[in-house]
Amino acid sequence: MRSPIPDYLTDALRSVAADTSGATADYIPELAQADPDRLAAALCTVDGHVYSAGDADVEFSIQSISKPFVYALALADRGFDEVLSKVWVEPSGDSFNQISLEPESGRPRNPMINAGALVATSLSGPPGAGADQRFERIVDGLSAFAGRRLEVDEAVYESELHHAYRNRALANMLRAHDIIAEDPLVAVAGYTRQCSLLVTTDDLAVMAATLANRGVNPVTGRPVVSAPVVRQVLSVMSTCGMYDGAGDWMTRVGVPAKSGVSGGLIGALPGQAGIATFSPRLDRHGNSVRGVDLFQRFTADMGMHLMDVPGTAREAIADRYVDGDGPDAIEVIELQGDLRFAAAEHVVREFEVRPPVTSSILLDLARIGTIDDVGRRMLLEAVRRLTIDGHEVFVLDPDQVLPDPDPGTGGRITVVDDRGQVRQR
Amino acid sequence: MRSPIPDYLTDALRSVAADTSGATADYIPELAQADPDRLAAALCTVDGHVYSAGDADVEFSIQSISKPFVYALALADRGFDEVLSKVWVEPSGDSFNQISLEPESGRPRNPMINAGALVATSLSGPPGAGADQRFERIVDGLSAFAGRRLEVDEAVYESELHHAYRNRALANMLRAHDIIAEDPLVAVAGYTRQCSLLVTTDDLAVMAATLANRGVNPVTGRPVVSAPVVRQVLSVMSTCGMYDGAGDWMTRVGVPAKSGVSGGLIGALPGQAGIATFSPRLDRHGNSVRGVDLFQRFTADMGMHLMDVPGTAREAIADRYVDGDGPDAIEVIELQGDLRFAAAEHVVREFEVRPPVTSSILLDLARIGTIDDVGRRMLLEAVRRLTIDGHEVFVLDPDQVLPDPDPGTGGRITVVDDRGQVRQR
Amino acid sequence: MRSPIPDYLTDALRSVAADTSGATADYIPELAQADPDRLAAALCTVDGHVYSAGDADVEFSIQSISKPFVYALALADRGFDEVLSKVWVEPSGDSFNQISLEPESGRPRNPMINAGALVATSLSGPPGAGADQRFERIVDGLSAFAGRRLEVDEAVYESELHHAYRNRALANMLRAHDIIAEDPLVAVAGYTRQCSLLVTTDDLAVMAATLANRGVNPVTGRPVVSAPVVRQVLSVMSTCGMYDGAGDWMTRVGVPAKSGVSGGLIGALPGQAGIATFSPRLDRHGNSVRGVDLFQRFTADMGMHLMDVPGTAREAIADRYVDGDGPDAIEVIELQGDLRFAAAEHVVREFEVRPPVTSSILLDLARIGTIDDVGRRMLLEAVRRLTIDGHEVFVLDPDQVLPDPDPGTGGRITVVDDRGQVRQR
Amino acid sequence: MRSPIPDYLTDALRSVAADTSGATADYIPELAQADPDRLAAALCTVDGHVYSAGDADVEFSIQSISKPFVYALALADRGFDEVLSKVWVEPSGDSFNQISLEPESGRPRNPMINAGALVATSLSGPPGAGADQRFERIVDGLSAFAGRRLEVDEAVYESELHHAYRNRALANMLRAHDIIAEDPLVAVAGYTRQCSLLVTTDDLAVMAATLANRGVNPVTGRPVVSAPVVRQVLSVMSTCGMYDGAGDWMTRVGVPAKSGVSGGLIGALPGQAGIATFSPRLDRHGNSVRGVDLFQRFTADMGMHLMDVPGTAREAIADRYVDGDGPDAIEVIELQGDLRFAAAEHVVREFEVRPPVTSSILLDLARIGTIDDVGRRMLLEAVRRLTIDGHEVFVLDPDQVLPDPDPGTGGRITVVDDRGQVRQR
């Protein structure tokens, strides 16, 4: 069987191909002369499979899509406190080329606008790193997100640097406020160089998937940044990633995203996939016209919207019965599905409403998909309370979905691999 | 066994109780004289169970927490196009008492600020409804969200109306721009009356849970608004619900939320729960001090943050093997966990990478939790392609988790309740 | 001889008559249907002679031109401190329909924008005056400026009041900030009524001339407001009178001015004349197209620009000589021209550089035009010092241009009407 | 006799000396370490006499007071059209360190804020001038205003340049908008160097007096810029010279002014004097605390407020009578005072209301002070009309106060030096 996903992506590209509205960025010749008809889409799953269609292996400069990733590096390298003290997290309501510094402090409103991105660049790498060492850290970091060594397009770099008056203005303003400590020209050079890194649409999908996968590159398996960093980056992308259209994007697409002036666009669907598109013509907000259209289709077709509630789930308790009788009788509770807060709550409520009638209890986790941290803690607390109530609790967990099964003071748990182990006790 | 959740809520209240910072709203005596020590939290699951602690049955005026619900009613009553043409969805970057109208059109930036809320009120009920009929619609609608008949606090209403100069200013400005068509004083009276509806913390948890439950009140089982309306409302809450602190809230709490000047605060965790807190002392943003603190604890403790990626899930394919041999051999694929995009993709990829070797195939869905729409469509498309490839596909679905199992042109599927049915064919 | 001034005005009107650009205000039918071809100019001298050309006796509603005059009444009735605490004097940089309140206090930025004008209206008349009494004060005051009883155009009043949503918004906002204390609807009604007073271009010229004449109506001779009030009003007109074009107006016209939406425009040239024009078509700033053009001509032709420095003046000392000899010798100093600071400084310097050689001195003021307060004080101080130096000082002042000729401690002065009186002593 | 003016200035300094509020600028050590107790005032008359008191010969860097003078040079060197296209003339309502560029074009709002001053610097000297040549022009120009060769304080220059991040930000922003065409660093260096020129309070008084004297340095007699340039510069100073306090300054002081961060403050009273003060402690607007206080005293004491209307002037017509009888009878009209618009109008009206009764007429100008251009034109037009009416007009003008006495087509005039000349004809 051939997977339907490539067909789907190809169909999606075809459906938007005729739209030639918008225009390529024209502030440097390298972008102005980009082939405006390039079109690509790629999707990388959290287990590292990449689907793509169109010109997904064509390289282009990453531009502003570097921002969330360098922000992630800064958070990793300097910690939340230092980074937040120098670049905040509120949407600015301004378009991409606004200054958007806080009036008194000069702190940029968020790291997705240029001023904030300059700060993130300045905070990458260890304190005191020189320009070269810092840039090495950025290339290494973004390459780790992409899963391959990225290279700078020197022509784009030179051309952008030549026209970077606005960014020099921002960097000087940040220096005037002591938000950055270094020579503003060095900061701009570093940021411009980071924007000139060449990526393909496939690369971008992998980079986005690394965010969707708690910071672990799903292709290489290599951890790049920690889960708290990813959470911060995705949060900021969701409120600030699409410039002055963040609210509109949230209602219509509902996926943390970031666009770039060269025509790229990424979205990260936590726990599921990273998606990227490429089409160089931009709308008046500076976002890729066909890219935005594609993401709206993906949201509708793939159920990606963060606020979409899945249809009513199957009950967490698949079955409950007493097995055997007399002193050997054991009450079995078979769980199923994913065990996050809602399902765990359902299980503990079941025990409260209908307390077990036998001395021994078996929780059967064999049909459980995922257990998250709160699901685990609630289940263990229930076990602890059942122990205190006088029950002996067995857990059938052949695949070890319940890590570190310690219910805490007063609780006791016996993990078994098959039911026979219970009987043998 | 006693459920640990009430204990958790009680502990959470105790942990914040000592914080007496902030102050009650003082613009009307009714709010200024509210007992500042009141403290409550409630949680309502998507199957309608309400946990609560503290003063959860004390009534107070709903104030701004009415905004998302009346916005939902307006969307339901007038449709997205009309509503969006008169109130937009972008965060304003302004505090709650700013004007925040778009410069030319006068369209309010979003329905969570007062100007936008006035518009939502004016768009509730059928076109041409009089003030009384419209207010009846609003009371009915909010009562349906809460699951009980809500009543107006007439003293609060009279007092607020007496001081509603700012809202009258906004309504006149909206009328000047033809954003509202009615007498501005009537619009303000309607909005003020809606804000004076009395609710308890328990009520608010149920109202939030109705949003978390695709618009169906989980206690009464009654549908209140449609899923697309809910998606819109939750999206706007996530970017605009916390005034000028939307980005900070998203990073630190990560739940669509709304606060009110009387001290209430709600959050809706799609598919899982509605949560509400009550504590009348406000911070300088106008949000309840202890309410914000509680929500930060809930997020950390209950894994509610929208951007939190659950730990790596168990494989969607629990097992795969050929049962029997010769002409009766059938390849069995046992699925587990929730089947959303990522899991469904994994399953279809499995069929591509390792095509089935037998003529008949059995997909065992007995351990599946939830299947969402994209999961269902992908699974059926895989079945269609397998059929075309010459396989006969059986699906074991004892609990009917796969609705409307029609794989489309060229596909065929046979749903069975137990494995015996396959063999009997 | 026929005065050339009427010919000049007629020529000026003719030169702009062909310009039909711009459009009449269209927010109420009464203004939209005004005859757009009306054209008038009038000039009133500070001794009360009115020249006019075109439709100078056609009545139209005064609109925003009432603002500086009502501001003058408020200053007169409540004093500078109270008025300044409630409406400030800075240009807003905003167009006429902006809100322009100071962020925290809600104080309007100046009294030439609507918000500030509403405050000025509310501060007219004695504290505690009812709406009727206050309006009576405003009609009396503006009538005193005009020199005839002004009447309200009731149709314009009713129509404007019907559409006054924006002003109601402003008044409610001001009430919310306690900048006004009364019912916002009453404030708007009063302001709207004041804007509906009917004036002719001739009236406006007299009103402006009253400002140019230190607050005394030059036609009726009746004092209307004090000189300090006039100074304040003219200052505010010069920085805030032309909305968002105040700086441009100052460079190109250089006369304190105010325009109105019905097509009127006034300018006050301190000490010289009041000027008014009328032409209903407005530019995008809301100023009369042909009115602005006429004022630019007047400035160029009549040397009205405040920053225009007259060509080098004739020496203040016309002649100086010793008359007679022996003990009867007297040194005569003949002064000429206007004696303001610069001329007075020249005179006192003369005495320092070339001290008088005779015991008696005669200051001949017969050819002096004006002496202002500083000129008078400096001349008397010089006399005092000359006395102390041992001189006897006579002043020839046949027309009493030097009021209250007391040189203070140690000084002595003898005023004579002709030279013969000196000799007779 | 000793002039009272030095005593007045000394008294004024003494009256403010005790006020030690405010603080010296602290962004560079050279300013931070300035002696905060320095205090000086100087006044230069339009005939070039300089009075001063206190530390009036102490040098300090001119800072922002260079702005109006360099703006004057730019207007002189490039013309109004080019300069206005690149820097506008509206008050910004912003404090001195705001960016204040027009949103679309990037044109600075006025030349008194830093962004606009950078543009003025860039437009000084001939097009295409190198940095050195341009700076030479600026030093020459400002030296011509001051009447002596000014020198750069190299230590201040180096220190300011080292900290000029904000100005570099502005220059880069201007370059991004193509408002300046050169290397932003070169523009900032030029502007910083101009701000580092050393001046004394006496120098500043002379510079201001040059503006008050139609652009001619009253001490050296050398023309520096033209009258239209001066008018433009004074206009802009009056609306934009005191940052965000322009309206307040206009009401309270009423003199075109400019302040600098080193503690200087200048005011120019057109046609009368230039005034300067020096006191390094600044208020929160960045203006010298004691300087502002001194200027308020000067305004009150010296009648400098532009909106102050002198008391009622003496009649322009001093006397009117028929001299002689029979065919030799001649009607004599003796004029007095200054002949600007108002007085000239009075004279021409006299001829209309009471036409001369004799064939010959003598206008006696011997007691006239100043005649400005409009006065001259109106008087000549009256003569022309009298000629046409059949009169023969003699003008007694012993001191040639009426330049170029040609009444135009149909008019005839005979200028005489004494009355005898009339009789001899």
Q: What is the pLDDT of residues A363-385, one digit of tens each?
A: 999 888 778 888 898 999 999 99
Cα D170–Cα D172–Cα D175 angle in degrees, nearest 5: 110
Which residues have CB under 8 Å from A362's CB, separation 6+?
A323, A330, A331, A332, A333, A394, A395, A396, A419, A422
Between D340 and A94, residue with greater pLDDT: D340
In chain B, the residue whose alpha carbon lies closest to the alpha carbon of C115 is B169
Mean pLDDT across B186-203: 97
CA distances to B87, B88, B368, D293 from B81, in Å: 10, 11, 38, 60
Distance in angstroms (rounded) separating the CA atoms of residues B191 and D351: 72
Q: Do D184 and A176 touch (CB under 8 A)?
A: no
- Nearest chain C residue to D355, by CA: C1
Known binding residue D114? Answer is yes
pLDDT of residue B271: 86
Q: Which residues of A254-287 are buried (b: 16+ CB within 10 A; e: fewer)?
A: bbbbbbbbbbbbbbbbbbbbbbbbbbbbbbebbb
Q: Where is D7: in which H helix or E strand?
A: helix D4-17
Predicted confidence at residue B399, as pLDDT, reads 81
pTM of the model as a whole: 0.90
- Cβ-based interface (< 8 Å): residues of D facing A: 99, 165-166, 168-173, 175-176, 184
> Per-residue pLDDT averaged across B29-47, rounded?
93
pLDDT for residue C330 is more than 60: yes
Q: What is the DSSP string of D85-114?
A: HHS-----SS-TT---B-TTT--BS-TTSH
Q: What is the pLDDT of residues C74-120, one digit of tens each?
A: 999 999 999 999 999 988 765 545 567 887 888 999 999 999 999 99
| A242 pLDDT higher than 90 | no
DSSP designation for D226: -
Q: What tokens appear for B131 in the block?
A: 């003030």
Of the listed ranges B64-78, B256-270, C22-36, D62-76, the one predicted with least confidence:
C22-36
- What's the pLDDT score for residue D310? 63
pLDDT confidence of C272, banded at 50, 70, 90? confident
Instruction: Tell me: pLDDT of A41 over 70.
Output: yes
Which pLDDT score, from 0 to 100, does residue C92 have?
Answer: 75
* Mutation for B interface: A110, A235, A357, most B CBs within 10 A: A235
Residues of chain B in contact with residue A302, where contact means CB-CB under 8 angstroms, are: 341, 374
In this prediction, residue D366 has a pLDDT band, given cuts at 50, 70 and 90, of confident
> Do residues A190 and A167 make contact, with C-beta atoms less than 8 angstroms apart?
no
Residue D186 is which amino acid? V
State the catalytic residue, choosing from D225, D233, D243, D289.
Answer: D243
pLDDT digits 0-9 by tens, C295-315: 999 988 888 898 886 654 567
Provide the 10 A C-beta neighbour count for residue C410.
Answer: 9
* C-alpha dist (Å) from residue D264 to A342, B245, B382, D187, D280: 71, 43, 82, 24, 7
Q: How far is D373 from chain A (nearest CA, A)?
A: 48
Chain B hits for A336, CB-CB cut-off 8 Å, are: 336, 367-369
Does the structure show a pLDDT above 70 at D99?
no
Q: What pLDDT, in 10s, does the model give residues B377-402?
A: 999 999 999 999 999 999 999 888 89
Q: What are the tens digits of pLDDT across the range C340-396?
A: 888 888 898 899 889 999 999 999 998 887 788 888 999 999 999 999 999 999 999
Q: What is the ipTM of this complex?
A: 0.91
Ligand-binding site membership of B243 (annotated): yes
Residue B158 pLDDT: 96
User: For position D180, what pLDDT does the model report?
Assistant: 96
Average pLDDT over residues A228-248: 90
Catalytic residue flag (residue B86): no
Catalytic, D27? Answer no
* In the predicted structure, residue D243 carries a pLDDT above the cut 80: no
Residue D158: pLDDT band (50, 70, 90) is very high
Residue B197 zone, left/alpha/beta (φ > 0; ψ -120 to 50; rest): beta
Nearest to D385 among C2, C230, C382 (CB): C2
- Of the pLDDT bands very low, low, confident and very high (cuts 50, 70, 90), residue D268 is very high
CB contact under 8 A, C91 and D93: yes
**In this model, does residue B315 exceed pLDDT 90?**
no
Q: Which residues of D touch A183 (CB under 8 A)?
A: none
Q: Give A153 to chain B, closest Cα distance, Å.
A: 33
- Of the pLDDT bands very low, low, confident and very high (cuts 50, 70, 90), residue A424 is low
Do the chains contact at C310 and D238, CB–CB below 8 Å? no
CB within 8 Å: B311 and A372: yes
**What pLDDT score was predicted for residue C155?**
95
Weakest mean pLDDT among A228-237, B346-355, D7-16, D113-122: B346-355
**Gap between the Cα atoms of C228 and C75, Å rounded:** 9
Asked if B196 and B30 touch (Cβ cutoff 8 Å), the reply is no
Q: Which CATH architecture has domain A4-302?
A: 3-Layer(aba) Sandwich (3.40)
- B157 in catalytic set: no
Residues of C with active-site annotation: 64, 67, 191, 243, 261
Asked if A166 and D184 come within 8 Å (Cβ–Cβ), the reply is no
C287 labeled part of a ligand binding site:
no
For the cut 60, the answer to whether the pLDDT of residue C317 exceeds it is yes
Binned at pLDDT 50, 70 and 90, residue C424 comes out as low
Size of interface A-D (CB pairs under 8 A): 36
A331 pLDDT more than 60: yes
Q: Is B191 annotated as a binding residue?
A: yes
Q: What are the pLDDT digits (tens) for D170-229?
A: 999 999 999 999 999 999 999 999 999 999 999 999 999 999 999 999 999 999 999 999
Nearest to A303 among B230, B351, B374 (CB): B374
At A327, the pLDDT band (50, 70, 90 cuts) reads confident
pLDDT of A403 > 80? The answer is yes
Q: How confident is the model at residue B2 (pLDDT cuts 50, 70, 90)?
A: confident
What are the C-alpha distances in Å from C311 to residues D45, D108, D371? 15, 33, 8
Nearest in space to D297 (alpha carbons), one of D43, D38, D4, D15: D15
**Among partner residues A99, A166, A172, which is closest to D166 by beta-carbon distance?**
A172
Q: What is the mean pLDDT of residues A98-121?
A: 88
Cα torsion through A346, A352, A357, A358, rounded to 10: 70
Whether C173 sits inside 8 A of B169 (CB atoms) is yes
Residues of B in contact with C118 (CB under 8 A): none
Radius of gyration of chain B (CA): 26
Output the six-digit token pair for C154.
């009731």
Residues of chain A with CATH 3.30.750.24: 317-424
Q: Residue B261, annotated ligand binder?
A: yes
- What is the per-residue pLDDT across A295-306, written as a single tens digit (0 to 9) for each? 999 988 888 898
pLDDT by residue (tens digit) across B56-107? 999 999 999 999 999 999 999 999 999 999 999 988 765 555 567 887 888 9
Cβ–Cβ gap B348/A1 under 8 Å: yes
Residue C165 CA to residue B184 CA, distance in Å, equals: 8
Q: What's residue D424's pLDDT?
A: 66
| Closest residue of chain D to C367, computed from CA coordinates | D367
User: Nearest residue on chain C to D399, judged by CA atoms?
Assistant: C314
Distance from C1 to chain D by nearest Cα, in Å?
Answer: 5
**CA separation, residue C142 to residues B254, C232, C241 (Å):** 61, 17, 18
Question: Rounded to a whole number, what is the distance in Å from the CA of A11 to chain B's nearest CA?
Answer: 15
C52: pLDDT confidence band, cut at 50, 70 and 90? Answer: very high
Fold of A317-424: Transcription Regulator spoIIAA (3.30.750)
Q: Name, in order, each residue with C-beta under 8 angstroms of B54's C-beta and a sequence gap of 6 or more.
A: B9, B10, B13, B38, B39, B40, B41, B201, B278
Inter-chain residue contact C271 with D313, CB threshold 8 Å: yes
Residue B278 is encoded by which pair of tokens? 């009550």
Confidence bin at C27 (pLDDT 50/70/90): confident
Angstrom distances, CA of residue B299 to CA of A373, B203, B256, B305, B308: 12, 21, 12, 6, 10
Among B261, B347, B383, B416, the one annotated catalytic:
B261
Q: Which residue type, as a one-letter code, is found at position D268?
A: A
Q: Output the pLDDT for position D354.
A: 92
Please indicate if the annotation marks B287 as binding a ligand. no
pLDDT of residue A419: 84
| Segment of A401-415, B224-238, D94-108, D343-357 carrying the highest mean pLDDT | B224-238
The reply to whether residue D235 touches residue C245, judged by beta carbons under 8 angstroms, is no
- Residue A26 is predicted with a pLDDT of 86
- Band the pLDDT of A313: cuts 50, 70, 90: low
Distance from CA of D294 to the nearest CA of A (A): 31
Smallest CA–CA distance, residue A393 to chain B, in Å, is 13
Q: Give residue A93's pLDDT.
A: 62
The residue ranking higher by pLDDT, C243 or B341, is B341
For residue A321, is pLDDT > 90? Answer: yes
Chains that touch D (3 or more CB pairs under 8 A): A, C
Element (H, E) at B6: helix B4-17
The lowest-confidence range among B253-262, C43-52, C289-298, D87-96 is D87-96
* CATH 3.40.710.10 location in chain D: 4-302
pLDDT at D231: 95
With contact defined as beta carbons under 8 Å apart, do C296 and D347 qualify?
Answer: no
Nearest Cβ partner of B348 from A4, A92, A212? A4
Grade residue D403 by pLDDT with cuts at 50, 70 and 90: confident
Q: How many CB atoms lie within 10 A of CB B228?
A: 14
Compute the count of residue pairs across chains C and D with CB atoms less than 8 Å apart.
288
pLDDT recorded at residue D326: 85
Mean pLDDT of A226-231: 95
Residue spans of beta strands (DSSP E) within D157-308: 198-199, 257-259, 264-269, 273-278
